[in-house]
Amino acid sequence: MDFMTIIGNVFTYSLVHDMITASVPIILACMCAVISRQVNIINIAAEGIIMFGCFFGVLVSYMTGSWVLAVLVSVGLGMLISAFMALAYLKYNVNIFVLGLCVNMIGTSGTRFLLQTIFKTSGNFVSDKIVPIPRVNFSFLDNIPVLKSLFSGYSFTEWLVIPIVIFIWFMLYKSVWGLRLRSVGLNEMAAVTSGIDVNGKKLAALVLSGACAGLAGAHLSLGYSCLFIENMSGGRGFMGMAAMQFGGANPLWAAIGCVVFGFSNSVANRLTPYGIPNQFVTMIPYVATIIVLSASVVLAMIKRRKSESALKA
Amino acid sequence: MSENKAEKSSAVIRIAIAFAISAIALAIIITLCGHNALDAFYQMFYGAFIGKFNFGSTIENFILILIVGSAYSLTKRINYFNIGLEGCLYIGAMFTCAPGFLLPDMPPWIIIPLCLACGMAAGAIWSAIGGALKAFFNINEACVTIMLNYVAISLTDFLLNNTWSAHSAAPETPHVQANAMLPKLPLAPSRASVALFIAIAVFFFVWFVTFHTTFGFKLRHVADNPRFCEAVGIHSNLIVLGTVMLSGALGGLAGGCQILGVYGNFIQNFSLNSAFYGMLACLLVKNNLKLLPLSALFIAFTRTGGSGMEYYTGVPKSLIDTVVPILILFIAMDQMFDYKRFFRIFKRKPKTGSAVGSKQ
């Protein structure tokens, strides 16, 4: 098969649908990283909270048959875990990376333990009784396959992502609350001096970010798929963190970074059957993030040097 | 640096309380699951230490955990949060493996050091990326090293599927030549090898470097006060870079020991986050080098003992894997177990240190 045919088969209009589906969990995980980054906390615990969100989403949906309740429980659990993290970080001065590392390891092995004790299976859990998040279908698009593929068949949480990102952006950049929150991240001592409750703001940011990660987990197990697999977060929490760095902690730019991740993932998936090494495609977003991160810091450094020399002259 | 004795003993008591609470919680959970807790603990001990295979498996885990723990301890001392050891382990393993099957047959005393040196060099160069970005541009190391882990895994994935593929059913490289394998310890069915002595040598090397060399002296001070170090003529960024590269080299060595001592070839995803257990060993004792071998042995014990317990009593191994990070959280939050203040808990304590900058 020649190269152009493969390219033609890979880059079709349905790639857009794949790309959006793949990027939504990453966007939600990324919002977790964005909010905590705004108060200068690098939260690597998204991975673990997503695992708990996945498991409890499936559990509650299986037990009660209500996806709304499942999503709410996952979000609440995410908030609870990050409230505990905030207690450990703010009151007992635990290193935030140690905390994140431990939460991630507890998330992986704890859900495996719960899977084995509650459902008596290991590896994965599939059941007809799990009620997934409903998909939104537009029946009037059924006759036009291109538009149907582009706009129809997304789950409810996939549509919900757009208002969430815009809401977080609005809260951070257009509200007084957000201004104070960001000022904690930009200059903590100045924030204290102007009478802002620094620890309160950090607590609020961590709890909100936990809610986002919990939602990401519920979406991953009930919206993206309809089952629970061990390790199903698959590095999405870290991808979200990378995208946060890519977008400089601005929700809108970070969401675009997530779409880049989703795009490269779905292209890599589509290249696999053709025997083309897809590892480099998977690698691109990470390498790009490192380059963007370094470039932005180096540019800022050069700018500062220039302004310093201008002052001296 | 100089802690007084009372403070030290109270720290030990706090750690003991954390251990006790974790053990009691574990016992309660095991009982709730409908198993006998004492039996489970006995099987865990039996599965880790009694019998050649069990003890050998513990040693096999201990080797990796001690090397990675020592490597992590170096960077922890300069407050560099090196999550990238997993990536170094992959890269080091790959480049230890490559000379093993590419080069013609050689006597063991040439090929083994050559392979390990290649792996260490690869690990050092790989970690130098994160180290240089931190040292010269002050870019957060945690973000960079997490991403470098993924890049390292993808890179080794590519190599073992294409350039250096064994063309067998499983994604793996060819086996290294027989001479390159490290001799096994006399613990027959287990895979423990003489890499144990490499691990012990690495531990003493790290201890010697940290406390008995000029480099170690500079290293210990760079974390405390980088600006002071610059003022007295220590290039703190070079020290940071050097430490990170040394740590990466040891990470690569850990991967190399896994290849030459345990597997014999590079299998896809062979590590499964095992580097993180080395980091946990270091965090468990709060980077106290004297206690590191003990804590590495403890983590290795939980890893193998958990399997024995699962096999004989049916208590899932994942429960142990869950309790160990919780224990580390408890130890990190050891002020929570301040037994002296427990009696004064109802008194209102005066608010101190409310200004954020007062610590600096």
Return d(Cα B252, Cα B116) in angstroms, integer: 8
CA distance B108 to chain A (A): 34
pLDDT, averaged per 10 consecutive residues of chain A (313 residues), comes to 75 84 91 91 90 93 91 94 92 87 91 89 85 82 77 84 93 92 91 91 94 93 87 84 83 90 83 75 80 82 80 56
Q: Which of B146, B321, B336 shows the shortest C-beta gap to A241?
A: B146
Q: Which residue has the higher pLDDT, B190 or B92?
A: B92
Rounded Cα distance, B210 and B187, in Å:
33
Give the residue carrying structure tokens 């993924």: B150
Q: Is A40 on the interface with B (CB under 8 A)?
A: no
Look at residues B58, B20, B22 and name the one whose alpha carbon lies nearest to residue B308: B58
Q: How far is Cα B209 from Cα B137, in angstroms, rounded to an integer?
A: 26
Integer CA distances (angstroms), B356 to A89, A184, A193, A293, in order = 14, 11, 10, 28
Across the interface, which of A105, A238, A277 has its CB nearest the CB of B146? A238
Residue A195 is assigned to a structural domain of this protein: yes
Identity of the residue in B147, B280, B324 whose CB atom sits nearest the CB atom of A286: B147
Tell me the average pLDDT across B215-224: 86
Sign for the pseudo-dihedral over CA of A82, A87, A90, A94: negative
Cβ separation B328–A301 shorter than 8 A: no
Residue A196 in any domain: the answer is yes
Token pair listed for B47: 């599965």
Residue predicted with more confidence, B1 or B51: B51
* Cα distance between residue A148 and residue A17, in whole Å: 10
What b-and-e string marks burial along B72-107, b requiring 16 or more CB atoms within 10 Å of the CB? bbbbbbbebbbbbbbbbbbbbbbbbbbbbbeeeebe
Q: Position B122: which residue type?
A: A
| A92 contact B CB<8A | yes
Give the whole-angstrom CA distance, residue B248 versus residue B239: 14
- Which of B142, B158, B328 faces A277 most closely, judged by CB atoms? B158
Q: What is the pLDDT of residues A215-230, one digit of tens each?
A: 999 999 998 888 898 8
- Dihedral over Cα of A245, A248, A251, A253: its sign: negative
Q: Residue B357 pLDDT > 60, yes or no? A: no
Interface check A292 vs B, CB under 8 A: no
- CA dihedral for B27, B30, B32, B35, sign (positive or negative): negative
Q: Which domain holds residue A169?
A: 16-234
CB A26 within 8 A of CB A236: yes
Beta-carbon separation of A102 and B326 below 8 A: yes
* Residue with the larger pLDDT of the pair B120 and B220: B120
Rounded Cα–Cα distance for residues A269 and A291 (Å):
24
Res B187 pLDDT > 80? no
Token pair 């209009």 in the structure block, residue: A13
Tell me if chain B has a CB within 8 Å of the CB of A177: no
Interface contact B325, partner A, CB < 8 A = yes
> Per the CB < 8 Å rule, is B137 touching A301?
yes
SS3 content of chain B, % helix, strand, coil (to 5): 75, 0, 25
pLDDT tens for each residue of A1-40: 677 787 777 777 888 888 888 899 999 999 999 999 999 8
B183 token code pair: 């001799």
Q: How confident is the model at residue B90 (pLDDT cuts 50, 70, 90)?
A: very high
- Chain A closest CA to B120's CA: distance in Å? 23
At residue B2, φ and ψ (nearest 5 deg) are: -85, 105
Amino acid A286: pLDDT: 82
Answer yes or no: is A260 within a domain. no
DSSP A95-140: -HHHHHHHHHHHHHHHHHHHHHHHSS-SSEE--TT--PPPEE--GG
Helix (H, G, I), strand (E, B) or coil at A278: coil
Query: Each residue of B223-272: pLDDT tens digit?
Result: 788 788 888 888 888 999 999 999 999 999 999 999 998 888 888 888 87
For helices A236-246 and A198-218, angle between their N-to-C axes, nearest 10 degrees = 130
- Could you give the CA distance from residue B333 to residue B309 in angstroms, rounded to a whole number? 29
* Minimum Cα–Cα distance from B331: chain A residue: A94
- What integer pLDDT is reported at residue B359 of this predicted model? 43
Beta carbons of A290 and B147 less than 8 Å apart: yes
Q: At what angle do helices B108-137 and B236-257 cross, to 10 degrees?
A: 140
pLDDT of residue A12: 79
In this model, does residue B168 exceed pLDDT 90?
no
* Residue-level pLDDT at B358: 44
SS3 B78: coil
Q: Which residue of B has its CA nearest to A197?
A: B354
Give the closest-approach CA distance of B158 to chain A in angstroms. Answer: 6
Are B154 and A280 an interchain contact pair (Cβ–Cβ within 8 Å)? Answer: yes
Q: What is the pLDDT of residue B44?
A: 87
Non-local CB neighbours of B135 within 8 Å, separated by 6+ positions:
B236, B237, B238, B240, B241, B244
Whether residues B335 and A289 touch (CB distance < 8 A) is answered with: no
Please name the member of A98, A198, A282 whose beta carbon is closest to the beta carbon of B154. A282
Query: Does residue B107 sit in helix, strand or coil?
Result: coil
Q: Which of residues 100-139 of B touch A (CB under 8 A)?
A: 129, 133, 137-139
Position A123 scores a pLDDT of 82
What is the pLDDT, as a whole number, of residue B339?
A: 67
Quote the minimal CA–CA distance from B321 to chain A in Å: 6
Residues 229-288 of B with CB under 8 A from A: 276, 279-280, 283
Q: B16-67 pLDDT, tens per residue?
A: 888 888 889 889 988 888 888 888 888 888 888 888 888 888 999 999 999 9
* pLDDT tens figures, B92-137: 999 999 998 888 888 888 999 999 999 999 999 999 999 999 988 8
pLDDT in tens, B132-145: 999 888 888 888 88
Count: domains in chain A: 1
CA gap B296, B71 in Å, rounded: 13
Check if A86 contacts B (Cβ < 8 Å). no
> Are A99 and B142 in contact (CB < 8 Å)?
no
Distance CA(B71)–CA(B63), nearest Å, equals: 12
Helix H, strand E, coil C: the string for A11-28 is CCCHHHHHHHHHHHHHHH
CA distance A21 to A156: 12
- Rounded Cα distance between A25 and A266, Å, is 13
Among A105, A110, A290, whose Cβ lies nearest the Cβ of B276? Answer: A105
Residue pair B357/A189 in contact (Cβ under 8 Å)? The answer is yes
Chain B residue numbers touching A94 (CB-CB < 8 A): 329, 332-333
Range 341-360 of B in CB contact (< 8 A) with A: 355-357
Average pLDDT value over all residues in chain B: 85
| Cα angle A170-A176-A182, degrees, rounded to a multiple of 5 | 75
A172 CA to centre of own chain:
17
Distance CA(B15)–CA(B22), nearest Å, equals 11
Is the CB of B143 less than 8 angstroms away from the CB of A297? no
Amino acid at the residue A37 = R
Out of A92, A103, A245, closest to residue B336 by CB: A92
Give the number of A-B residue pairs with CB atoms closer than 8 Å: 126
Phi then psi for residue A132, to 5 deg, are: -80, 165
A151 to chain B, minimum CA–CA distance in Å? 32
Rounded to the nearest angstrom, the minimum Cα separation between B295 and chain A is 16
Instruction: Note the pLDDT of residue B4.
Output: 66
Q: How confident is the model at residue B1 (pLDDT cuts 50, 70, 90)?
A: very low
Q: What is the total residue count of chain B?
A: 360
ipTM of the complex: 0.84
Interface test with B, best of A30, A89, A99, A105 (most B CBs within 10 A): A105
Average pLDDT over residues B279-287: 87
Interface contact flag, A105 B321, Cβ < 8 Å: yes
- Please check whether residue B338 is in contact with residue B349, taking contact to mean a CB–CB distance below 8 angstroms: no
Taking the C-alpha atoms of residue B206 and residue B74, their distance in angstroms, rounded to an integer, is 7
Whole-number Cα distances in Å, A77 to A117, A227, A233, B74, B304: 19, 19, 16, 36, 31
- What pLDDT sits at residue A263? 87
Question: Which positions in chain A touch B144 (Cβ < 8 Å)?
Answer: 290, 293
